[in-house]
Amino acid sequence: TRHVWEDSKDKVRENRLSNEGKWIYRMRKEKVERSFADSKELHGLRYCRLRGRDNVREQALMTAACQNMKKIALHLDRVV
């Protein structure tokens, strides 16, 4: 017998192994994973400065806000 989710897993697997799925995965490594690496290396997200879930969440949100502002500034510099 097959698990209830096996059909869904098969569809996802087919999508991932298609040409478009391979291209998307390649782009993910360049875009998403690079963002997390920058967070760790450039913005101090490797170690949390404060304790507690709320404080850690605040640090992560501030880091994301800084990265977004940096992206916006770079985009505006290219446009203007």
pLDDT 10s digits, 18-76: 999 999 888 888 888 888 888 888 888 888 888 999 999 999 999 999 889 998 999 99
Average pLDDT, integer, range 4-24: 92
CA 39 to CA 2: how far, in whole Å?
41
- Closest residue by Cα to residue 56 from 45, 68, 43: 45
pLDDT of residue 46: 86
pLDDT of 40: 86
